[in-house]
Amino acid sequence: MKLNNGIRLTWLGHSTFKIEADRQTLLIDPWVTNNPVCPDALKTFDTLDVILITHGHADHISDAVPLAKEHTPTVVSIVEIAGWLGKQGVENTIGMNKGGTVTVGDVKATMVSANHSSSFTEENGTTGYVIEFGNGYKIYHAGDTNVFGDMRIIGEIYQPDLALLPIGDHFTMGPREAAYAAQLLNVPAILPIHYGTFPLLTGTPEELRKLTASQNVEVISLEVGETLD
């Protein structure tokens, strides 16, 4: 596994992450206020420079407007969500679409496909991101998705060092599909997300480890509030 060289990745529960790197603080899928597993001490932020949104469901976006108004970060999302945020008074939005790359400070964010529904688009308005930091380290946040064959393309083109993959089942892929996703991505390390928040989300890191035992991949599981650095 490639060292992340000072990039601090803190899991706030579900699919929400705070990342501190390159003198910037990023937040992925801002859901903290009503997130039942997010520690109270981590529900507020000293500063936010970038917010990335994968899709429009409440458990991924519900704190986007208040946090954006408080901290005035650059907010990156699919174009329809960016338009909705603008109508709510959010400034500094970047609306983009799949395949596009934007640079914010020293961080590059590439929007990639995900298979899931979204509250703001009739079609497939859910995305993932490949985030590249100034030191070359790359994190793939898959968003809410099932496994799909083009994950192989994401792996071949972007070669992420760490993949954040949902394993909860019911609303996303479970451990069985996530294990196959790891094969398609050919990624050296995966960090399971979107599990344990509600009783319906039954997938576990232990099951994922069993299913990936024959693969050359490290499964890194964090406790909610824990930081990988």
- Give per-residue pLDDT as tens, 160-193: 999 999 999 999 999 999 999 999 999 999 999 9
pLDDT interval class at 119 (50, 70, 90): low
Residue pair 163/208 in contact by the 8 Å Cβ criterion: no
Count of the separate structural domains present in the chain: 1
Number of helices followed by number of strands (H, E) in the chain:
6, 14
Reply yes or no on whether the pLDDT at 101 is more than 70. yes
Q: What is the pTM of this model?
A: 0.95
What CATH number is given to the structural domain containing 46? 3.60.15.10
In-domain check, residue 54: yes
Reply yes or no on whether the pLDDT at 120 is more than 60. no
In-domain check, residue 3: no
Range of the domain at 188: 8-228
pLDDT interval class at 122 (50, 70, 90): very low
Q: Are strands 189-193 and 138-141 parallel, antiparallel or unpaired?
A: unpaired
Residue pair 18/44 in contact by the 8 Å Cβ criterion: no
In-domain check, residue 2: no
User: Any idea which residue has 């799949």 for tokens?
Assistant: 98
